[in-house]
Amino acid sequence: NPPFGATFTYFLAEKLRSEKEERHKTEKALREKNADVPFPGWEQLHAEAEETAPQVLLLVRDEAGKAVRWLTGPVEAGVHRVSWDLRLAPVDPIDLSQPTTVEVWELPPHGPLAAPGTYSVTLYLQSAAGLAEVGAAQSFTVKPLSTIGLETDFNVTTTFQQRAGDLLRRVAGANVELSRAEERLKNIRAALVATPQADASLFTTVGTLVSQLAALARQLRGDEARANLDEAMTPSIRGRVQRLMAGHWQTRQPPTATQRDSLAQAEREFGEFQQAFVKWLNEALVPLEAHIETLGAPWTPGRQLPL
């Protein structure tokens, strides 16, 4: 079966080549003629090392011209087809690592479904010269399923899902920064043992900061100790947002009153958490890192470079 969604077809007369590939092509032609191959020069080699690989990009816009989603396509010569899954852009934190295994039930990062309506797609080629638009934008229509009532207001659903998606983006980002802060404290604790000038009060300070950060983590992620014992507990901020995503991102039906209330509560709680976490970073962790720098402590990740 073809991929779900809107499928776009484009043709490339030639493969998109990087500057290095173009140089190799030219040098190959010279070798075939038994001609000398000149040294390209250091500036050229530096440019090739810093160059981003060429890309084919397709930009989907809504009827108002607002960008909705970037898609990537093959750069080889020939006819290619790229499908848009009719979803908005994912909001998960960027992770360039490749998982060793992927379970069959695991879905790649994805956003909520786009509302039915008129959209357009534009083809772009990205190279060392920049991003160039190719051809004219092509329009297409996303239609609702016939099982959805005519009275359904898709804009209400889309607005709610985008609001939930923005909160998920911020919550996921805060969770990553929380993990980094935990690692920073672990490294600081190890560095104190290797710092003769560190006195006993510093070890106590680090312990206090660990407890403060753990309390913030419970607010964002939930109480792991209670969860491990299957004890009932109040939903965490992240838990509320994840349940909203799981229960509403696969539909175009309007949100329920419970879902609206849950989102509003998660937004309030996250605002309080964010304020407390940023204050803790700026007034507790960063000053501690600056202090151990004055003591000549070994380098720890996340510490600001001294001027």
Q: Using alpha carbons, select from 132, 126, 133, 134 the residue that is nearest to residue 53.
A: 126
CATH number assigned to the domain comprising residue 104: 2.60.40.4070
As a whole number, mean pLDDT of residues 117-143 equals 94
For residues 258 and 164, membership in a common domain is answered with yes
d(CA 115, CA 144) in angstroms, rounded, equals 8
The pLDDT score that the predictor gives to residue 147 is 67
Region of residue 283 (phi > 0: left; psi between -120 and 50: alpha; otherwise: beta): alpha
250-253-254-257 Cα dihedral, nearest 10 degrees: -80
Quickly list DSSP for 132-148.
EEEEEEEEEEE---TTS
Look at residue 26 and tell me if it is in a domain. Answer: no
Clarify whether residues 160 and 109 are in a common domain: no
| Assigned token pair, 211 | 């407890």
**Among residues 142, 175, 191, which one ends one of the domains?**
142
Number of domains observed in the structure of the chain: 2
Average pLDDT of the segment spanning 192-202: 95
Cβ burial, residue 138 (10 Å; 0-12/13-18/19+): middle
99 vs 273: which has the higher pLDDT: 273
pLDDT over 70 percentage in the chain: 98
| Residue 299 within any structural domain of the chain | no
In whole angstroms, give the CA distance from residue 186 to residue 206: 9
The pLDDT of residue 168 is above 70: yes
Q: What is the pLDDT of residue 276?
A: 98
In a domain, 114, yes or no: yes
Task: Identify residue 194 by its one-letter amino acid code.
Answer: A
pLDDT at 101: 83
Cα(122)–Cα(118) distance, integer angstroms: 14
Q: Tell me the per-residue pLDDT of 201-257, one tens digit each, with 9 for 90 and over.
A: 999 999 999 999 999 999 999 988 888 877 888 889 999 999 998 888 888 888 999
69's tokens: 């989603």
Query: Is residue 263 within 8 Å of residue 254, measured between CB atoms?
Result: no
Residues 129, 88 within the same domain:
yes
Tell me the torsion sign for CA atoms 62, 65, 70, 71: positive
pLDDT (0 to 100) of residue 87: 94
Helices 257-280 and 154-193 cross at an angle (nearest 10°) of 30
Q: Give tens-digit pLDDT for 8-28.
A: 999 999 999 999 999 999 999
pLDDT recorded at residue 66:
96
Instruction: Judge if 125 and 198 occupy the same domain.
Output: no
Q: Are residues 126 and 159 in the same domain?
A: no
Give the residue-averaged pLDDT of 66-82: 97
Q: Examine residue 28 and state whether it is found in any structural domain, yes or no.
A: no
Q: Is the residue at 77 inside a domain? A: yes
Do residue 136 and residue 161 come from a single domain? no
The verdict on residue 32 lying in a domain is no
Which residues are CB-contacts of 203 (< 8 A; sequence separation ≥ 6)?
189, 192
Model pTM score? 0.87
Tell me which amino acid residue 162 is.
Q
Calculate the average pLDDT of the chain. 92
Contact of 273 with 174, CB cutoff 8 Å: yes
Q: Residue 150 has what pLDDT?
A: 64
Q: What is the pLDDT of residues 29-39, one digit of tens each?
A: 999 999 999 99
- Domain-located, residue 307: no
Range of the domain at 106: 6-16+54-142
